[in-house]
Amino acid sequence: MATIDDKARNFLEQPFVGTVTTLRQDGSPHSTIVWVDSNGDLSFNTAVGRAKERHLRQDPWFSLLAVAPENTYKWVAVSGTAELTTEGADAQIDKLAKKYLGQDEYPWRNPEEQRITVRIRPEHIDAAGLDD
């Protein structure tokens, strides 16, 4: 397992969205946008039944890349395997709404939707521009 260093973690503390890639059953990579939780284990939040969650139950490999929107030479990419948990996932989406929207509560909550946290066990970490 690789370790996310302080530079990468500080970078990910900023409200930059991440591109998450999971793998479809046909082997093709599927990429979408997520909010990144940089506290403790790196993680993101999705809902049960979405493509990302379904893919990760079949194949736990995924990658996450976040790039600074004002300087695209600065980015961090982490790939590894996913651990999924619904524990704390509702509180996490509110915390991420604070980070990304400045709001205390996630404004698009759907009572029929179960939130889930995807924690990364990092295997490969790449970064660029963090020393500039």
Taking CB under 8 A as the rule, does residue 102 contact a second copy? Answer: no
Radius of gyration of the chain (CA): 14
CA 103/CA 41 separation, integer angstroms = 23
Helix ranges (H only) for the chain are: 6-12, 51-58, 89-101
Contact between 124 and a second copy by CB under 8 A: the answer reads yes
Nearer to a second copy, 109 or 124 (CB): 124
How many positions of this chain bind a second copy (CB under 8 A)? Answer: 33
Q: Which residue has the tokens 């980015």?
A: 75
**63 is written with which tokens?**
């990658």
- Each residue 20-49 as x (binds a second copy by CB under 8 A) or -, in order, gives -xxxx-xxxxxxxx----------------
Which residue in the set 2, 14, 69, 105 belongs to the binding site for a second copy (CB under 8 A)?
69
Backbone angles phi, psi at 123, to 5 degrees: -115, -35
The dihedral built from the CA positions of residue 2, 58, 89 and 64, taken in this order, carries a sign that is positive
Query: What gap in Å lies between CA 51 and CA 27, rounded to an integer?
Result: 14
- Please say which residue, 41 or 123, places its beta carbon nearer to a second copy: 123
CB of 128 to a second copy, least distance (A): 8
Interacting stretch for a second copy, rule CB under 8 A, among 40-48, 75-83, 86-94, 111-119?
75-83
User: Which residues contact a second copy by CB under 8 A?
Assistant: 17, 19, 21-24, 26-33, 59, 61-65, 67, 69-70, 72-73, 75, 77, 79-80, 123-124, 126, 128
